[in-house]
Amino acid sequence: MKAADALFAVAREDHLAAPRSVLVGLIGAGIQASRSPAMHEREGAAQGLAYIYKIIDLETLGLTADALLELVTAARRFGFAGLNITHPCKQTVIPLLDDLSVDARALGAVNTVVFGRDGRAVGHNTDWSGFAAAFRRNLSDVRRNRVVQFGAGGAGAAVAHALLILGVGELSVIDTDRGRSERLAQDLCGRFGSGRARAADDSDRAVRAADGIVNATPLGMAKYPGMPLARGLLRPDLWVADIVYFPLETELLRNARAAGCRSMGGGGMAVFQAADAFRLFSGLEPDAERMMRHFESM
């Protein structure tokens, strides 16, 4: 099945021609359980829009990330307002775009593409702003002199960016790919100042000296069970944040709460990044708290 034909098949029955219609989609692999369609469509309905959000799952369609160019091109032609982009396409999509927002350019990762009336495709990153909003909502008063982050991929880059904007003094980045954690730390120091981030290998030592930890890896997802650190490292004065939201209570969060840690799940980031994307797609101001209620009711 050609990529363009696949995209047309998922969109043609639902795209409405009303002046206040918005057609968007999500491209990624293994995304059938995503809550984004319901969140966007319910918020659109609440604002009087004919808002259609389609899942374009590479696995289901028998495609790979190599089909991304054809999918993005087809979405422009079929009148999509934009696309959300997730694993494994957040970096792959960048060369296919006409421009990037300041944040997307700095992070080297795109999770939202907006098609302008002039036909130009502009990449944005709402992952970092979504995490920052969730953190301010749930953990605004915690100490953040030293923080350990597990994961230095696309999502990890966005979360690390947010953490330093939120005032983390020193961020230790741990990744199974040492080179990737070193590159991220170097990039962060270039933007935020020398010594603000470093690549670390000894997770035990780093966590023992930390005020909080963040899981920005897939560990904890239904298909990637586990947690990024030993359970014995969790202690009551340590706060814990996880960006995984399916399931909402990961193994890390369950053990953190049992150890008396303050914790934040990935639901908040999922909602607030969706709210920021909704604003970009529709031009309307979303009600993030209403979107949170929609998310929690699913």
Active-site entry in 2, 54, 90, 223: 90
- 90 is annotated as an active-site residue: yes
* The 3-state secondary structure of the chain, one letter per residue: CCHHHHHHHHHCCCCCCCCCEEEEEEEECCCCCCCHHHHHHHHHHHCCCEEEEEEEEHHHHCCCHHHHHHHHHHHHHCCCCEEEECCCCCCCCHHHCCEECHHHHHHCCCCEEEECCCCCEEEECCHHHHHHHHHHHHCCCCCCCEEEEECCCHHHHHHHHHHHHCCCCEEEEECCCHHHHHHHHHHHHHHHCCCCEEECCCHHHHHHCCCEEEECCCCCECCECCCCCCHHHCCCCCEEEECCCCCCCCHHHHHHHHCCCCEECCHHHHHHHHHHHHHHHHCCCCCHHHHHHHHHHC
Which residues are annotated as catalytic?
Answer: 90
